[in-house]
Structure 1
Amino acid sequence: MTEPQTLRSDARRNRDQIVAAAKTLFAERGADVPMEEIARRAGVGVGTLYRRFPDREALVREVARESLAVLLTHANRAQADGGQGWESFLRVLENLPDLWFTLRSTVLSPAIRTVILDDPRAFATAQELLSVINGLVRAGQQAGTLRPDVDTGDIVILITLVISGLRASAGALPDTVHARMLALTLDGLRTGSGSTLPGKPLTPDPMDPLR
């Protein structure tokens, strides 16, 4: 009885290592990273990777499912912060591969969007996540901490662009610079920033690839 249980434990550990490595590499470089490199980062053989995930789409699907589920968990916890929930949500997630993978996939990667759209489980989680984030935005505005002339679409695109730039400059700039840029971004979303935004607030609909 002990040996099969050990094998199951090893298989689960290999699976978790592969998904974690893929999540980080996809977040950094997109979903076209060679499978061999993912296996190497995970510390497993290529054969082990393909036994767990027979093709790239299967791996992308699993990473999407897990990343969306992690984000949903953090978003639900942030609701307890009331009007500050939207800001605490962004601060907590700024350095998580789950956040960058999800933003990159839903805003910048048509290939990953297609995988999410075609997977009922990932799609349902994404829709629930969007609903919770919408609630955090509304709570922040009702509390007077989030400027009233923005919507969820503005925030998603803004954070995507900021984190994209920060990751692109990783290693070239001190960590304090990254922290300053994020702080400036959040300050621009607060009530009383003093500037008038051109155009209308971006609702999720025009940029939401899951509709």
Structure 2
Amino acid sequence: MSADPQVPLRADARRNRDQIIAAARSIFSDFGPEVPMEEIARAAGVGVGTLYRRFPDRDALIRAVAVDNFARVLDDARQAAEQEPTAWLALVRLLHQSVELHLSVQLAMLSKKAHEILKEDPAIASLRDELLVELEAMVRGAQREGTLRPDVAEGDVALLFALLLRQLESRSPEVTRLSTERSIAIMIDGLKAQPGTPLPGRPLSRHDIH
């Protein structure tokens, strides 16, 4: 159970909610969603009672962070598609620059607890599907440009990104961020249209990864 998102909040209540979500996003990104709620309240600069008034339990907070985060990623994807001169550059920008994308993958696919909470959530499902549609458009556009290898689809890119992040657990957030950036750079090089090892089977679409 979570607070009704349709009920208008007072300015101070909205500010507290935004601070809690921002703190939780940062902490979840570095340490996962199992961090004690007291630490999140402290990072947000609010009391534990305030946190629990807005989010009655951890599940409600994880769900709110995930919805907020997927919406940010979707906005990132759409801005990249609109602002970059090519689909390839839009894809590279999304993979490299979206910190929110990293957290969305961690919550939706890498954290067992978060996955259980989010897998049946209709708001998350809708945002995830919209994001995959944007990714599909980038992939197909880059293939038409001749910059992305022709034997992959958006499901391949999404799964490769998720598998890459799964391998990057570290006790040091700095090492995790550095290794993520380096590994994404290697991944992007492997996606470029160039002679390479033929891939087995068929390209995986967004429908294959649900």
Give the TM-score range, shorter chain. 0.7 to 0.9
Look up the match of 1:27.
29
Give how far 1:121 is off.
2.5
Structure-to-structure mapping, 1:1-211, within 5 angstroms: 8-80=10-82, 81=84, 82-84=86-88, 85-93=90-98, 96=99, 98-166=100-168, 168=170, 170-172=173-175, 175=178, 179-208=181-210
Give how far 1:22 is off.
1.2
RMSD: 2.5
Deviation track 1:184-207 (CA, whole Å, cap 9, x = no partner) reads 211111100522233432223333
The unaligned stretches of length 5 or more in structure 1 are 1-6
Question: Matched residues in 2 for 1:32 and 1:52: separation?
Answer: 18
Look up the match of 1:3.
none
- Does the aligned pair in 2 maintain the 1:86–1:133 contact within 8 Å? yes
Residue type at the aligned position of 1:89: L
- Does the aligned pair in 2 maintain the 1:28–1:167 contact within 8 Å? no
Question: Matched residues in 1 for 2:192 and 2:151: separation?
Answer: 10
Give how far 1:173 is off.
8.0
Question: Matched residues in 2 for 1:181 and 1:187: separation?
Answer: 10
Give how far 1:17 is off.
1.4
Give how far 1:26 is off.
2.0
What SS does the aligned partner of 2:10 have? helix
Deviation track 1:26-77 (CA, whole Å, cap 9, x = no partner) reads 2233322211121122222111110111111111111111011101111111
For normalisation by structure 1, the TM-score amounts to 0.81
- Does the aligned pair in 2 maintain the 1:107–1:207 contact within 8 Å? no
The unaligned stretches of length 5 or more in structure 2 are 1-8
Aligned length: 198
Question: Matched residues in 2 for 1:109 and 1:179: separation?
Answer: 20
What SS does the aligned partner of 1:182 have? helix
Question: Matched residues in 2 for 1:178 and 1:167: separation?
Answer: 10
What SS does the aligned partner of 1:67 have? helix
Residue type at the aligned position of 1:62: A
Give how far 1:135 is off.
1.1
Give how far 1:114 is off.
3.9
Q: 1:158 to 1:58 in 2, by over 3 A?
A: same
Question: Matched residues in 2 for 1:26 and 1:155: separation?
Answer: 23
What SS does the aligned partner of 1:200 have? coil
For normalisation by structure 2, the TM-score amounts to 0.81
What SS does the aligned partner of 1:171 have? helix
Residue type at the aligned position of 2:174: G
Residue type at the aligned position of 2:73: L
Deviation track 1:143-176 (CA, whole Å, cap 9, x = no partner) reads 111111112222112222334445625434894x
